[in-house]
Each structure stands twice: as C-alpha cells, then as structure tokens.
C-alpha cells in the first residue's frame, strides 16, 4: 500500500511541475524570445511588428493561460477543495 501512495504523490508533483514548467517556458518565449524591440506595452508597436511574430507571441500567450488554468483547476480539485472540506468537517 505504501508504494501506491508514493507513486500517486510522485505523479501529483510531476503534474504540478509539468504545468509550472509549461507556464515558465511560455512566459520566456513571449517576453524574451519573441519580445518586441520596444519596452513596455505594445500599443502602436503592435502595428509595426511582423504578423508571424505577433501570431507566435499570441499562441505562446494562449499556451501560458491554458497551463495556468490547468494548474489552478488541478490544485483546486486536489489540494484546496479537499483541504476546505477537511476544515469544515473538523470545525463542525
């Protein structure tokens, strides 16, 4: 039984690490690799940026948000929700 718990705990942390690495990679690609020549918000610089570069940035930004939502949902289902239920049952 102990090896099953260890395997599930390992899988849990692998999923969390995978989603966190995906978020870090996508942020790196958006803000470093495909960064515009200007600093700060794009505003009018978005009009002068090549179309392919802008689309690539948007795809990486979408990947970031999907990983962020995935991590939030996963943590909510596996950590936050059960923790709140346990607190409610203990205080009752």
What pLDDT digit, counting tens, does each position of 27-53 carry?
999 999 998 888 878 888 888 889 999
d(CA 88, CA 92): 6
10-14's contacts with Cβ under 8 Å and 24+ in sequence apart are: 12/78
Q: Cβ–Cβ contacts within 10 Å for residue 2, how many?
A: 6
Using CA atoms of 8, 9, 13, 14 in order, give the dihedral in degrees to the nearest 10: -30
pLDDT score for 37:
83
The confidence band for 23, taking pLDDT boundaries of 50, 70 and 90, is very high
pTM of the model: 0.83
């Amino acid at each position: 039984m102990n090896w099953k718990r260890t395997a599930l705990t390992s899988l849990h942390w692998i999923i969390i690490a995978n989603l966190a690495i995906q978020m870090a990679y996508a942020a790196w690609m958006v803000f470093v690799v495909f960064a515009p020549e200007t600093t700060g918000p794009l505003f009018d610089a978005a009009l002068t940026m090549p179309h392919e570069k802008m689309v690539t940035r948007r795809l990486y930004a979408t990947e970031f948000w999907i990983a962020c939502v995935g991590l939030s949902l996963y943590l909510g289902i596996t950590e936050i929700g059960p923790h709140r239920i346990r607190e409610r049952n203990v205080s009752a």
